[in-house]
Structure 1
Amino acid sequence: MVTHRGRWTLRDRVDSIMRALPVTVPPGTAALTVQLDHPRDAGVLDLGCVGPAGFRGWSGGARDRYTITADWATPGYLPGELEPGEWQVLLRLHRVPPDGLPYEVTVTTSTRAPAPPAGPEAPPRPERPSRPDLPEVDGRRWLAGDLHAHTVHSDGAYTIDELAALAVGRGLDFLAVTDHNTVSHHPWLPAASARYGITLVPGQEVTTDRGHANAFGPVGWIDFREPADRWLAAVERAGGLLSINHPLGGDCAWRQPVTTRTRLVEVWHSGWWDRTWGAPLAWAQAARSGVPPHGGDRTVQLTGRTRVAGAPVNHGIYRPADPDVAPDDLLASLAADGYTGVDSGPIGYLGTGELLTRRLTEAGVGLAGGWVDLRFADPDGFAEDLAQLDAALDVFAAAPVDDPRFAPRPTLACPGNPARAARPGTPTDLASALPAAAWPGFAARVQQAVDRCRDRGLEPVFHYHLGTDVETEAEADRLLELTDVAICLDTGHLALAGGDPVAAVHRWAGRTGQVHLKDADLAAHRRVRDAGGGLAEVVAAGGFCALGNGDVDLAGVLRGLDDTGYTGWLVIEQDAPAQGRDLDRIRADQRDNRRWLAEALR
């Protein structure tokens, strides 16, 4: 076993962003395992491997561990005999904080190869949707495809089989699989192509901190450490094509010098927020005539069905003024941990108007929606609260949107009912429940708020919630019967109120407008209730715990959402108390929650 440890500094990064740590592999080695440890909340180190004979794999920041054997390797890495001699563990110092980044790399060799880990079963081949009726052009027909997709061989969420099945289900004829800086996926593409009836084009997204480019075709591995001109020369020499990706893409924008421009350029990408932006097309026009433009998307957004958001409530933020976590810090943390969206939290916390747009754009996240409680049970109070709703709709309507399916969802809800908040969840305190005679008027006011949202071009959802007039599954069902509002399916609140989140996914299929993915600790809730505590005490006691640590069948929920074709935001929530919270633990939990979901979706 060999261990390298130290502390990378900004000066190290300036001197050389790529670092190679030597490892001697003795004769007879059957397996090589590398483990990288560093504080992920502080910085990012990308990971790879080179053997005496050349490239053996790359996983970037997607993994902290890999194994290479003669017969199998961790996705992103190439299996094969482990030739004796000096190997190198590659580290790219992607993000290093001002005070430096400690790290430890442990390399273990073995004369006996471990068994390969079991992978998921290949999904069945789906039915292909009917093709659109498009006219032929000079005897040529249109094909549907995507030229930018990732798998578990880099930072994607799906296996190659899962990706192929999703593409076929969306009606694609071809799909370029372009994992970051690796070609480990290439040998698996032909079999998956045949199994699912789709052309999978081998590719590699050549990825650096100064720009990305897709190499299309069976051209072998393109060394991202070389200058960009050499990428183009190598690809064209092997009969492939090179395309510059998302030339205007924040910190992934193209800044590489080239003497010969590529024949392809990606002028549409999921990271661009506003359909009215003219800059991408202007960039393409400036390239040169005859440069074919194309669009691309990320693997987890291939189907356009889900994106993942975080929320200020996870940090105990319930009021917009004087928060313990600054908005820019929260957005930067979410983006670094892989979230692509954020719930607004209390209206005004993230800003309004141009300030909100700037913050969202700079962080590269979208606005998933936000909580607006109205006094639906009180006619006079409701009338007064409509001004509050209008102010919230002003915020949501001004937020940048790149896809209408992921526009902000006004999250309508009731304010707290003190009697129910004192005894939240199951067993339900029916004495403080809304009387049957009050339901028609209550529902009419909900419908009035719904229609007001729609008049502004926004589609709202209704959030049942512990300690409010709509808390239980039965109460949510009643509201759905009396209105046409979509439901916000909050798995944690439903579980603590005695509901079955998995069954609700199927029963509310077609009426679910947003999902708040939340785990719940039934034992913690029971202890608080038995001690006479209320909702605030449930939250403080950890009634809403980190994903995978509680009693909600979240895997079943995710399967149900997939089966029912849910489209929209998955908002990860873990309600935190407003006072006495541990912000370091909260940040760690939110990072772990995002990782848990990524693993669960694989």
Structure 2
Amino acid sequence: MTASVPAHSRIRVGSAPDSWGVWFPDDPRQVPWRRFLDEVARAGYEWIELGPYGYLPSDPAVLAEETGRRGLKVSAGTVFTGLHRGPGVWDETWAHVSDIAALTRAMGAEHLVVIPSFWRDDRTGRVLEDRVLTPAQWRDLTEQSERLGREVRERYGLRIVVHPHADTHVDTEENVSRFLDATDPELVSLCLDTGHYAYCGGDSVELIKTYGERIGYLHLKQVDPAVLAEVVAGEVPFGPAVGRGVMCEPPAGVPALEPVIAAAAALDVDLFAIVEQDMYPCPPDKPYPIAERTRGFLRSCGI
């Protein structure tokens, strides 16, 4: 007799437009937003992220009606920031953040996923700035992240969760640790993306064990180690790497998600675990079967 997998009831599973090949507010190669909502609900998910602002309706009343009749709820919005550039970019950053934060709050969500800006263009590979931050830039990054966390909490009641990401300055184990050690836990939490962290050489289980109190949100994702080896050897930018299939359908890649989920469950806190399989661009009929199979796999992991 096979032992049953324990249910981790404090982990809530969702998906995101990213898993349907959506990276931009409007792109003819992307699945239309109504189809995304139909398919993500049919695949068995109850929670979604907003994705790129403007892809889903930005009118809260319209979005609430569209999600509600499909049994969907919003877990978070997403913003992109270049906070290492210092106070001089604050006004521009806040103009971008405020509309997204307002919609996120209006939809009843409590999290804002913050993705640092890329040091090289994710499609062309053009180097935009130095890959390594100076001490002054690190100080700006951490201080401005705390400022963002404070402002978002005070004005919108949201908590920011900073997302380590390939081709950004918050990527490797060393840089993630440095960022966490230099920021206030009351203001800044982490969105641990298991795929991006593995892409950059990190161990998600060890991160959860070491910085468990800082884990505020999860993105569940895997990388294909063979493709990743080619990407690293060839210094391939993130966008083309995705086109090569570096992010793959679980459980075919790394890290193994069962121990990650077990480590997260051991924290005994409420967590969202949002499936993200980067697939831009992709054929419109490709995402749904993957999403359905992935939801089944996660149920076998107890969530």
TM-score normalised to structure 1 length: 0.47
1 CA distance for matches of 2:284 and 2:66?
A: 22
Partner in structure 2 of residue 120 of structure 1: 3
Superposed CA offset, 1:506-555 (max 9, x none): 11212111100101112101112333421112111111100100021211
* Partner Cα separation in structure 2 for residue 311 and residue 521 of structure 1: 20
Map of 1:596 onto structure 2: 297
**Matching of residues 89-488 of structure 1 within 5 Å:** 118-120=1-3, 162=6, 303=9, 305-322=10-27, 324-352=30-58, 353-379=60-86, 380-399=88-107, 401=108, 407-418=109-120, 422=125, 432-455=131-154, 456-484=156-184, 485-488=188-191
Instruction: State the structure with bigger RCO (CA 8 A, min sep 6), 1 or 2.
Output: 2
Q: What is the CA-CA distance between 1:372 and the residue it aligns to?
A: 0.2
Does the 8 A contact of 2:85 with 2:140 survive in 1?
A: no
Q: Deviations over 1:323-356 (max 9, x none)?
A: 5312221111111111011111101211122111
1-structure distance, mates of 2:126, 2:54: 30
Q: Is the 8 A contact 2:77 2:101 kept in 1?
A: no
In 2 relative to 1, CA 511–532 (structure 1 residues): closer, same or farther, beyond 3 Å?
A: closer
After TM superposition, give the deviation of residue 381 of structure 1 in Å.
2.6
Cα shift at 1:383: 2.7
Aligned to 1:253: none
Distance, in Å, in 2 between the alignment partners of 1:408 and 1:495 is: 27
The two structures have a TM-score, normalised by structure 2, of 0.90
Gaps of 5+ in 1: 1-117, 122-157, 164-299, 402-406, 425-430
8 Å contact from structure 2 (residues 11, 265) kept in 1? no
Aligned residues: 294
Cα distance in 1 for residues equivalent to 2:80 and 2:90: 10
Query: C-alpha separation between the residues in 2 aligned to 1:469 and 1:420?
Result: 14
Q: Is the 8 A contact 1:420 1:468 kept in 2?
A: no
Q: Pick the aligned partner of 2:288 from 587, 591, 596.
A: 587
CA distance in 2, matches of 1:432, 1:568: 31
8 Å contact 2:12–2:272 — kept in the other structure? yes
**Residues in 2 aligned to 1:348 and 1:437: alpha-carbon distance in whole angstroms:** 34
- 1:495, 1:574 → 2: CA distance? 14
Greater Rg by CA: 1
Q: 1:330 to 1:309 in 2, by over 3 A?
A: same
| Structure showing the higher helix proportion among its residues | 2
Structure 1 pair 321/423, CA: closer, same or farther in 2 (3 Å)?
A: closer
Structure 1 Cα separation of the partners of residues 73 and 121 of structure 2: 36
Following superposition, the deviation at residue 370 of structure 1 comes to: 2.3
What is the alpha-carbon root mean square deviation over aligned residues? 2.2
Give the corresponding residue for 1:58: none
Q: 2-side partners of 1:320 and 1:577: how far apart?
A: 13
* Alpha-carbon spacing, 1:532–1:497, altered in 2? closer, same or farther (3 Å): closer
SS in 2 for 1:308: strand
Q: Structure 1 segments of 4 or more deviating over 6 A?
A: none
Instruction: Provide the C-alpha distance between the structure 2 equivalents of 1:382 and 1:526, rounded to a whole number of angstroms.
Output: 37
Q: CA deviation at 1:595?
A: 0.8
Return the match for 1:569 from 257, 263, 272.
Answer: 272
Task: Tell me the SS of whatever aligns to 2:192.
Answer: strand
Aligned-partner Cα distance in 2 for 1:308–1:392: 22
Shift of 1:423: 10
1:278 is matched with none
Q: Secondary structure at the match of 2:190?
A: strand
Cα distance in 1 for partners of 2:105, 2:251 equals 35
Q: Which amino acid aligns with 2:16?
A: A
Q: Percent identity?
A: 26
For structure 2, the 5+ residue unaligned runs are none
Is residue 21–residue 31 contact of structure 2 (8 Å, CA) maintained in 1? Answer: no
CA contact (8 A) 1:375 1:382 kept: no
Q: Choose between structure 1 and 2: higher strand proportion.
A: 1
- State the alpha-carbon separation in 2 of the partners of residues 362 and 419 from structure 1: 38
Residue 220 of structure 2 corresponds to 517
Q: Is the 8 A contact 1:374 1:382 kept in 2?
A: no
SS of 1:434's equivalent? coil
